[in-house]
């Protein structure tokens, strides 16, 4: 915490120095959303290059002055929380003055900018992210406050902990981890008792684009157990994008990639080639929108696709057919096809990429 306080004090000192010299204070931030500032490393995923391009948030420019003020406002809130050892969610910060901040996304963005500027992970800034992910299966652990959590014995899923770094005594006999894109599929597999039927496993869903805690938990499971991690996504550009976030990270959070990514993640399904192999009727597939086409084209250009020839092939199949499929299309073969046939066969015969 003294490190965090010192980092914030340094920023404020620079502001005061500028004022003393009768200069307009300026904050320098890394350009987080620029692909030119990102390098791809096989072992880490997407990460920020050391000497990346920056942008200036000036206090004397009408366009950037409001952002300058909001950054200082949130820095002062973080400083107080670190001093008093209290925590707040991004939502709490937004609701402390909704008129001032204007929207939740403004707060989220500034917090990421601050984390990147100070080179300090969000958790150490005493800001908790709201958790929306679920975990189930062969796993038990103790939370920071001493609460024992057992995901094994419950028929319902457990919410991903809001302080993943604080959990300890992780115990599991799982043979693999399965990341499921959507909540509905996750619940269906839970109902089918998938975690115990085939071999003990851990299932996780980020319910769409994963929040920070879900990504941290996937990474923590990988660090703790070194077991294979598979993804089960829709066969569409959005599903592929989500899988890439777990595996390689996202551009906007590339400054924290080494805590968040698991480059060994495998693509288990639903593969575009599976639709052909299983002779899925075209009537249950959905035609691409213009947005889908653009997203797929942008994914195909990303640096990590070049070192994944098998993925590249699958994306080409998807691009050629201009059709997408949700995991639910497997129910057109039989209601429990996913848990009874599809996943057991894939896992038994190595049907992943």
Active site residues: 95
Burial of 254 by CB count in 10 Å (0-12 exposed, 13-18 middle, 19+ buried)? buried
- Dihedral of CA 82/84/86/91: which sign? negative
Backbone CA torsion sign across 325, 331, 336, 337: negative
Closest to 304 (Cα-Cα) out of 251, 233, 229, 259 = 251
Cα–Cα distance for residue pair 42/21, rounded to 1 Å:
46
H helix runs in the chain, sequence order = 2-20, 65-84, 90-96, 98-101, 104-118, 183-191, 194-197, 212-225, 237-248, 257-260, 272-277, 290-300, 309-321, 337, 343-349
- According to DSSP, residue 125 is labeled G
Cα–Cα distance measured from residue 37 to residue 278, given in angstroms and rounded to the nearest whole number: 42
């Amino acid at each position: 915490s003294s490190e965090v306080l010192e980092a914030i004090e340094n920023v404020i000192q620079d502001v005061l120095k500028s004022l003393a010299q009768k200069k307009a204070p300026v904050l320098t931030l890394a350009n987080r959303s620029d692909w030119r500032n990102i390098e791809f490393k096989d072992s880490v995923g997407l990460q920020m290059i050391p000497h990346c391009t920056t942008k200036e948030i000036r206090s004397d420019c009408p366009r950037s002055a409001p952002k300058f003020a909001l950054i200082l406002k949130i820095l002062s809130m973080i400083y107080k929380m670190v001093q008093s050892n209290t925590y707040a969610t991004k939502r709490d910060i937004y609701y402390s003055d909704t008129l001032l901040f204007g929207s939740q996304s403004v707060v989220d963005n500034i917090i990421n900018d601050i984390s990147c500027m100070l080179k300090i992970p969000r958790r150490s800034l005493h800001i908790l992210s709201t958790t929306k992910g679920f975990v189930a299966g062969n796993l038990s652990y103790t939370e920071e406050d001493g609460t024992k959590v057992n995901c094994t014995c419950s028929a319902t899923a457990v919410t991903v902990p809001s302080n993943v770094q604080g959990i300890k005594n992780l115990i599991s006999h799982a043979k693999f981890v399965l990341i499921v894109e959507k909540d509905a599929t996750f619940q269906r597999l839970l109902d089918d008792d998938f975690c115990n039927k085939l071999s003990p496993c851990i299932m996780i869903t980020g319910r769409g684009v994963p929040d920070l805690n879900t990504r941290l938990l996937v990474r923590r499971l990988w660090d703790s157990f070194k077991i294979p991690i598979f993804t089960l996504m829709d066969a569409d550009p959005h599903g592929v994008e989500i899988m890439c976030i777990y595996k390689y990270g996202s551009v906007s959070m590339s400054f924290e990639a080494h805590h968040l990514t698991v480059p060994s993640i495998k693509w288990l399904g639903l593969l575009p080639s599976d639709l052909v192999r299983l002779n899925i009727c075209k009537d249950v597939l959905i035609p691409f929108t213009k947005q889908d086409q653009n997203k797929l084209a942008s994914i195909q250009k990303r640096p990590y696709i070049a070192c994944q020839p098998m993925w590249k092939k699958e994306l080409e199949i998807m691009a050629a057919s201009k059709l997408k499929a949700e995991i639910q299309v497997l129910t057109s073969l039989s209601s429990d096809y996913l848990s009874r046939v599809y996943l057991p066969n894939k896992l038994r015969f190595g049907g992943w990429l």
